[in-house]
Amino acid sequence: MQHNPGPAAGKEVGQAPPRPLQPARLLILGAGSGAVLAGSVGGVILAAIWIVGSPQGARRAILWASLHGVLIGAAGLGTGAFSGVAVISLAPHLTRRGHAVALGAALGAVLGGGLGALVWEEAAGQPVALASLLANTLAGAIVALFARHSLRT
């Protein structure tokens, strides 16, 4: 039997090429990634806003930012899941990486803005709304970028 190097030339014999992520796995990975990204970025944004507003209360600002980061991360669950599934579903139409990023960012902005609208009238609602919008937009873009990349490998 002859050895045919094929597209996997240079790889270890018997090693299968990487497969694209399955939709269910991508949904779970996207949701988890979106939650972690949005929650941590949102918490950092809030901490920065509140520390600048009251430097002497930095410890308290970080605590409250962390707690609100969890709330923003909850919206990030939906951001990551929707972004990943949307990119997989619309893969034939997303011919460029920028299209996938824009779709993920738009979905993140909608979900982050939705959370922002819910908390707008609460005490400290405006900074939470801003952090939610920014963090979920970024999380949606990143998850969509990696979801598109998983289709290419």
Nearest to 75 by CA among 26, 128, 147, 146: 128
20 burial level (CB within 10 Å; 0-12, 13-18, 19+): middle
140 and 108 Cβ atoms separated by less than 8 Å: yes
3 burial level (CB within 10 Å; 0-12, 13-18, 19+): exposed
pLDDT per residue over 14-48, tens digit each? 666 656 557 677 778 888 999 999 999 999 999 99
73 domain residue, yes or no: yes
Q: What pTM, to 2 d.p., does this model score?
A: 0.80
80 domain residue, yes or no: yes
3 domain residue, yes or no: no
88 domain residue, yes or no: yes
2 domain residue, yes or no: no
Q: Which domain holds residue 148?
A: 22-152
Per-residue pLDDT of the chain (153 residues; tens, 9 = 90+): 555 555 555 555 666 665 655 767 777 888 899 999 999 999 999 999 888 888 778 888 888 888 899 999 999 999 999 998 888 888 888 888 899 999 999 999 999 999 999 999 988 889 999 999 999 999 999 999 888 887 765
Number of domains the chain is built from: 1
